[in-house]
Structure 1
């Protein structure tokens, strides 16, 4: 067995650092389930960490991860805009309701499903990183 070259050990170190950053991103994804406002900020943090991991490791991000996080951030932004701009209307029985409250509720569930899909993509990315680390070891 030959000792590792400095290039391969540097590459290995970069992948290990990327793996640690990817592992830090997973709890942030779970925080994304809260709601589009606070959870959306967590998803922005995940995007920043994901870009750092990609640049360090040079391992391609799975489509499941990057497509679902872009779609989830877009749905979250739409939900926030609708919730802020909706004007409540007096309803029967003295309650106040918004004409788009059902749409907002539906978008919240689509947002949560998007976060779960992004979480699955993140786990798949960690598996790819570990596989890259194993290939680099040989």
Structure 2
């Protein structure tokens, strides 16, 4: 189920206020889009390398009866899989963020200014809450 446009706007405002309140936290969890999903290119490469490592591991185990050298192939396959997993989890500095990530940092100071003024996100939420319950 997708979110309405108002809910998406609210989530973006929450994200911006969190980034403005704690920039260190924001820089540690900031990703290319607001839902935390990376672009597909980087993770697809890591996945492909992991599959190659898995094939090497299975082939080495299956062919280990013919020669003991295939055990080395299994070990190398495991190391390739392990390296691909680490690469996927850590990400690479420049490739993990799509080009939209740079614009987000420039928006956080305006969010900080809004949060410090009386018309911040909290006051808007409080106003909406009061309007709902006064209307009923």
- TM-score band (shorter)? 0.3 to 0.5
Which TM-score applies when normalising by structure 1?
Answer: 0.37
Q: Which has the higher contact order (CA 8 A, sep 6+)?
A: 1
Which TM-score applies when normalising by structure 2?
Answer: 0.37
Larger radius of gyration: 2
Which structure has more helix as a fraction of its residues? 1
